[in-house]
Structure 1
Amino acid sequence: MRKRLATAAGAVLALAAAILAAPSPAQADTRTASGFHVADGRLLDANGKEFVLRGVNHAHAWYPTRTAQALKDIKALGANSVRVVLTTGDRWTRNDTADVSAVVAQCKQNRLVCVLEAHDTTGYGEQDGAVTLTRAVDYWISVKDAVQGQEKYVVLNIGNEPYGNSGYAAWTSDTESALARMRAAGFHHTLMVDAPNWGQDWSFTMRDHAAEVFAADPERNTVFSIHMYGVFNSADKVKSYLDRFTSQHLPVVVGEFGDMHSDGDPNEDAIMSTAQQLGVGYLGWSWSGNGGGVEYLDMATGFDASRLTAWGQRIFSGTDGIRQTAKEASVFTDTGSGSGSASCAVGYRLSDWGNWFNADVTVRNTGTTAVKGWQLAFAFPGRQKLGSVWNAKAVQQGSEVRVSNESWTETIPAGGTVSFGFNGSSTTGTNGVPAAFSLNGAICVKS
């Protein structure tokens, strides 16, 4: 990650006529009711309950093998959401459909709302190699299968910081075009759009055109994301910016912020307190793995949750911090997840011989309709490595395992089961049962 800032410019005049003419943000498209949706400037979950993001960013794109444990630790520290860095493959190694699907499953297993962002747009127009929002939309279309049907749990952040400090006047039209293409492609998720100027909007381009952009979304289901670093070094600047959105009933979140930065000293206390006062979400940058001179933005030293930095302690345990203010999304709380009311149950019988093991797995469909075509996702609790598999197909990435059906195990009848097995090895000589399972994205009961 790299943040840059030019000399601040004067505020652009607000487009008052466009704001007055725009449809009310309360007029959300009814097609979004099955997932997250915006109403009267607030983000509501699929149950119609207000949801305020309280979480952190995790750099999955560069540290994919760290994700399983990172999400567990982030959840254990009280977060209700996580913003996950993905890459289109234009600047870094692409996160493909299977990988994105695994990330979503892991978020759900940890009862975290998943904000997925495409990072390759960062600083377009100023940063070498950065790509357009058009290219970001191409990426989302290419991995659509990983997020289709996950509208209850996933927010799509189209492109990270899509302009630097050059050419940012095109942000409005480019963002409107991106929203239109996403909807035309069949995405009914809440869509999040980042500000230009490396996310900090010192030109007020996003602020002054937000109503126009919101109205351009056919489903009126867009959330605006401001990144607060050195530009936001005083309580007045923080409050003034966020007030402009909330007073117009436009949905806004602080998608990134830190407690210090090379471009100036952000006022993290004001960011967190103002967000709490206004009911605005925030996602701090970032869990661990920062480099290039901004290592001080790590919340956990070396991805170790027992070694929180001062920044990590502040955001999780300080005043207006995550532990104090986060509330779990009702889509997890109200579904009875883990209490026996899920639509699947998984039995995992482990035969452990130290450096190697066998596992016999039974998946029961506890719902009322047959499941045709399935994928079971889970994470090994240690350093186990998958070996041979029978009655199913499986792939492993880090500790993550995704098992899918063979042609003869494709259908799980209502009330029926399918079974498969596999063997594997362990470098530590210890094995265990995975903590959680999800079937086609639905969290299963362990039986």
Structure 2
Amino acid sequence: MNVLDILVARGFVEQITDAEGVRRHLENPVSCYIGFDPTADSLHVGSLVPILALAHLQRHGHRPIVLVGGGTGMVGDPSGKTEMRKLLTREQIRRNVEALQAQLARFIRFEDGQALILDNGDWLLDLNYIEFLRDIGRHFSVNRMLAAESYRMRLETGLNFIEFNYMLLQAYDFYYLASHYDCFVQMGGNDQWGNIVAGIDLIRRKMSKEAYGITFPLLTTATGAKMGKTAEGAVWLSAEKTSPYEFFQYWVNVDDRDVERFLKLYTFLPLEEIRVVEGLEGRELNACKTILAYEVTRIVHGRQEALKAYEGAAKVFGRRALPADLLPSSSIPRDLKVDEGAAVPSTSVSQEELEPGIPAFELFARVGLCDSKSAARRLIQQGGGYIDGKRIASFDQPIGLTDLKDGSALLRAGKKKVHRICVAG
């Protein structure tokens, strides 16, 4: 089966420049690329769609090229932004590029040239500006550039010259990869459509060859929220920024209406199994959410971390029955034996601090259950703070050694956020 049909069936495709041309091009092993901006030292859940699209391509025999924007990161992409991105230093970009390269290796096999990670700083940073304008800039119409959605949005708030150059640089990337790596397919978010088309046009003009573009939908949840955003901020792929347990909980708590769509996009479970999810509700749909959370956590953090998160959630919230015939290709264990301490985020507190007791609102803020002491105070006053399942009576209630059983206690903020405190050994 052509990988394009797989991507369409699983919901990856929003627009294609030439559907039949792309399908023919993908009949044999080819190279395809996606660019990632090094604006942070970790990608987030919003990046999973392009990452997994590359993984599908590799599974069907194609060679993914991951392009990290060490050069374009010096400029900043105006696409989808209402204001200019913060410009990073070369040293910040270098550190972020190295972190992203290590992170992407979890999803794509780079051994023996099966995939490539490239940094466009290797060819963009040494470009001669006058030669670039003469050889590349002359192929671009300012009128057409201003008609692109990414620029039209910014014209209302102000588009500066450095951002105006971004389309030329991304188009040049596509041309460079086509001429040096025989790569004629670029994929990206739907906000990249204008940049991708500009690259296709440049390749046609400079090389007299056809190139192709595929864009992904810019995903929101059923509630209209941006994918991967929570009240606490972004859901990161880095375990240091978002723990595997918190990551698991993000997927367990998705809206019922999103479960089938997310199983198609964010797991490799067979489509014929996922289609059964349509029409499920209640306990069975909740079981699907658990499998979704386990599978995505396994892909991002590995099987051991997924198991620990699964076991930790079962300890805190109770075990869900997982029928053997529900999404049977999942490797989730159906006979879970709960590990009492698994995966729940924990903080060690010294015995000296715990002897007199720590005011509850201070402890909740300290371990990250609330963003601030004032937020913790409000939460507890409204009845949303618990220790080992018992509601905390007042915001300044001291929590000390007598509240810990066997050296630990489970704090809970609201229904879903938990954290274990332990006596430092």
| TM-score normalised to structure 2 length | 0.29
User: Of the two structures, which has the highest relative contact order with CA contacts closer than 8 Å and spacing of 6 or more?
Assistant: 1
More strand by share: 1
